[in-house]
Amino acid sequence: MLDPNLYPSRAFIRFTAHNQLLADLTGETVTASVQRWGGQTYLQTAQPGKALPSLSRQSEAGAAQLTLGMALHPSPNPTPLSQDMAPSLSQADPVAPAIAEDLFTEVTQTLFQACRSPQLYQDCGSPEAAKAVEEEVAAEIIATYRQIKQNQTSPIVQRLNQQL
């Protein structure tokens, strides 16, 4: 029988990357309580501009149930949003910034392909090794998404898009 703790979780990777990009976009800290397959419960804290959210271990209380929660918290030292990552918002436009879900989905689907990330489909030997693969792939998703968003504002990219 396969032990799911020994395989990287694509859902966890996607959740982690999404939370970090949400923190970047809003300029707010995103905190999530996560638990994987009945294991330890962790607090995942995504701060704007970081490579990955940090994980800290929570108490064992409630560890017998699956927990997943999320909250936005104002950063004690807010990082100004770059023009590359955030849409311009006017006072008259109360719409909150949002992650480009189509782009995020395309990036994750590309990086989740077996030919691109074969380690996602292999037994890692330990939960710690599986977690390391999750972190590696999540960091790659975050970096790729950020790079694409930055390139969208490049004058060269804009000219090429106009020619298409």
Q: Where are the domains of the chain?
A: 4-74+98-163
pTM value is 0.74
Give the model confidence (pLDDT) of 53-89 as tens digits: 988 875 444 443 334 445 545 545 544 444 444 443 3
- Average confidence score pLDDT of the chain: 79
pLDDT of 126 over the 60 cut: yes
Spatial CA neighbour of 33 closest among 66, 3, 75, 6: 66
Long-range contacts of 36-43 (CB under 8 A, 24+ apart): 36/5, 36/9, 36/12, 37/4, 37/5, 38/63, 38/64, 38/66, 39/5, 39/63, 39/127, 41/67
The two structure tokens encoding residue 158: 């804009």
